[in-house]
Amino acid sequence: MANPWFESVAVARARARKRLPDSVYGAIVAGAEAGVSRDDNLTAFDELGFRPVTAGQTTGIEMGCSIMGQDSSMPVMISPTGVQAVHPDGEVAVGRASAARGVPMGLSSFGSMPLEQVIEANPQTFFQIYWAGDRESMSKRMQRARDAGAVGLILTLDWSFSHGRDWGSPSIPEKIDLKTALEHAPDVLRHPRWLLDWARAGRLPDLGVPNYTTNPDHVPGFFEAYGEWMGTPPPTWDDVASLAEEWQGEFMVKGIARGDEAKRAVDAGVTAISVSNHGGNNVDGAPAPIRVLPEVVDAVAGQCQVLMDGGIRRGSDVVKAIALGADAVLIGRAYLWGLAVNGQGGVENVLDILRGGIDATMRGIGVQKMSDLSSADLIVPDGFSPPRT
């Protein structure tokens, strides 16, 4: 049996590309329209540099922190994503892996595994919701999360339903039945290891979203839930404030990319902001989160935590984000590659890669505590960030 260990996220992605059916892989890598923002999320990090030291390198790097009231072994958190067909163990495997490595996680309301099972796997789980459906249904989802022990709420707002992709959107069925199984058979049969994972689990991928339902007798399909979300009028900042007040706990708004909106989020009562463009799936042409991070950090002036989500592939990326003012980062695609390749062990592998990269980078630049990082530790080119709002 081949060694499942991988030494970088890039290697995990390459292996996932071979293992996953094209439709599943395509859903993970997808970005809006031409993919300008998706690609900038990665390349923006390449524009930032370090000035390493030689003698005087540090040891015993201190990277523990608090993320929305939860102790974390490093400034990394699992971002909420839907993983319906990546691996049979889904978010439960992610929960076990993140708990084993001492980091909190976010669980999507469009996820594949019931939130009660995921919270049992990792008690440091934040539940993510969309502004979808009527207010009563949102309140019911929030109450279910509260009853299950969710430690906080994440409201995702960085999505504008842009579906036109220059390379074509992946083919995702509404449900898996005999007809769709036959249609996708040629693709699936080219990826026998993925198929074997599901065969061992004794089931086919379930495209239902059990955390979105408010009716215990009905689990809606992904597209049923997505359609309701599309048909829901977007919220105002008063709506956000009302939701935060109802939750009465740690409350993050995900998708902030402007200083003026960061101030509005603080006024609405959020305890954390995620600087994000939904992995390049919002408005194409929006800048990478790392570019607008300093603007958002300055705007909130310490009144809430600021996390950054987008483009993290190695520990040095984490260090760059912290140096530009983030309290922590969220990772999405990176852990999905690990999950696809080796389930729980693959997610743990990714988190170990990030931890090792943080340690090596901090040692190399001569900084022991992550709290001591600043932009002075980076080489930031002129024009790296857009004009501020």
The predicted-structure confidence for 267-294, as pLDDT tens digits, reads as follows 999 999 999 999 988 899 999 999 999 9
Please say if 278 is a catalytic residue.
yes
Strand (E) or helix (H) holding 1? none
In degrees and rounded to multiples of 5, residue 189 shows phi and psi of: -65, -20
Which residues, 6+ apart, have CB-to-CB distance to 61 below 8 Å? 358, 359, 362, 363, 368, 369, 370
What's the rounded mean pLDDT across residues 154-162? 83
Tell me which of 190 and 322 has the higher pLDDT.
Answer: 322
**H or E element at residue 128:** strand 125-130
In 10 A of CB 250, how many CB atoms? 20
Give the range with max mean pLDDT: 35-39, 183-187, 269-273: 269-273
- The band of 83, judged by pLDDT with boundaries at 50, 70 and 90, is low
CB 48 within 8 A of CB 321: no
Task: Measure the CA–CA gap between 335 and 317, rounded to whole angstroms.
Answer: 15
Read off the pLDDT of each residue in 351-356 and give the average, rounded to a whole number: 98
| Tens-place pLDDT, residues 287-306 | 999 999 999 999 999 999 99
* pLDDT beyond 80 at 158: yes
What is the residue type of 249?
G
Q: What is the pLDDT of residue 177?
A: 62
Other C-beta atoms closer than 10 Å to the C-beta of 269 total: 17
Dihedrals phi, psi of 284, to nearest 5 degrees: -70, 135
**203: buried, middle or exposed (CB in 10 Å: 19+, 13-18, 0-12)?**
exposed
Joined together, the tokens standing for residue 360 give: 């090596």
In this prediction, residue 291 carries a pLDDT of 98
Give the containing element (helix H, strand E) for 258.
Answer: none
